[in-house]
Amino acid sequence: MKKIIALVLTLTLVLALVACGGNAADDKTIKVGATPAPHAEILEVVKEILAEDGWTLEIKEFDDYIIPNTSLEEGELDANYFQHVTYMNNFNVEQGTHLVSAAGIHYEPFGLYAGKAASVEELSDGAQIAVPNDATNEARALLLLEQVGLITLKEGVGINATKSDIAENPKNIEIVETKAELIPTTLQDVDLAVINGNYAIDAGLKIADALAVEAADGAAAEAYVNVIAVKEGNENSEKIQALVNALKSEKVKAYIEETYAGAVVPLF
């Protein structure tokens, strides 16, 4: 009987040690959701930096703006890196999530790209312009259209602008609300399109070819800074701070500046 008890105790101890070892390994793994470009590409550089300090970075790619946030809220991810802070805050309000920014990393200037029309000046009466259909990015697109003189928005609407806030539209521009990720694929079906920086990069569009671009030193850079998002309460955890520090390294900054030629602007 004593031998049996001793054997049971030994097995229990072994299983406990294995479990602890597994938890220790998990504690050194950081699971981050990201859209392919530029976020996942940047994280590949970060992965190398983190590995030097014993961290394993798991990058899970998404092609939409919803699941990375719901997965983070549900604890399937430690963080995500794909969205600007205004979108995240709006998502929290609409979806009841509890996401916060652990750090602002970069800014992706919105660009206005040619479709059937080669320039803003060529636009005919009733021309169609595609814009993202989510609230925060549509407002941003409308502000860019105002910047180039195509529309005038009601005073003070700012980043909360909607189609109903268009006060003047001298060319009777038709605003075509489209899912952000689909706009590059429909570019030839509309006269012009306002495209998110990451989806423009995915589609091989260069910011230098855009007909108009947001200024990186204006209010937009602050309102639309891309962040490392985490569930509230986790922003100061060891793994998140390790992730943030790696992202804000000189190696990552140099990679962003050399790779994206102004389409992605580091804010650190």
- Domain range summary for the chain, segments of one domain joined by +: 2-108+222-266, 111-213
Q: What 8-state DSSP symbol labels residue 124?
A: P
Residue 175 near residue 129, CB atoms below 8 Å: yes
Reported residue count of the chain is 268
Residue 257, C-beta contacts closer than 8 angstroms, at least 6 positions apart: 266
| pLDDT, tens digit, 9 for 90 and up, residues 47-96 | 999 999 999 999 999 999 999 999 999 999 999 999 999 999 999 999 99
Task: With CA atoms as reference, report the closest residue to 56 among 26, 33, 76, 34.
Answer: 26
Q: Is it true that 2-108+222-266 and 111-213 share their CATH fold?
A: yes
Q: 111-213 — its CATH code? A: 3.40.190.10
Task: With CA atoms as reference, report the closest residue to 129 among 166, 82, 176, 167.
Answer: 176
Residue 130 is predicted with a pLDDT of 98
- For 2-108+222-266, the fitting CATH number among 3.20.20.70, 3.40.190.10, 3.40.50.10490, 3.40.1390.10 is 3.40.190.10
Distance (Å, whole) CA 58 – CA 21: 19
Residue 9: pLDDT band with limits 50, 70, 90 = very low
The radius of gyration of the chain's CA atoms, rounded to the nearest angstrom, is: 23
- What's the average model confidence in pLDDT over 140-152? 95
User: Does the pLDDT of residue 45 top 50, yes or no?
Assistant: yes
Number of Cβ within a 10 Å radius of residue 128 = 18
User: Does the pLDDT of residue 217 top 70, yes or no?
Assistant: no
User: Does the pLDDT of residue 14 top 80, yes or no?
Assistant: no
Task: With CA atoms as reference, report the closest residue to 37 among 69, 61, 68, 71.
Answer: 61
Q: What 8-state DSSP symbol labels residue 165?
A: G
Return the SS3 of 53: coil
Q: What is the pTM of this model?
A: 0.78
Using the structure block, give the residue that is written with the tokens 């983070």: 72
Residue 16 is predicted with a pLDDT of 43
Peptide bond into 38 cis (omega under 30): yes
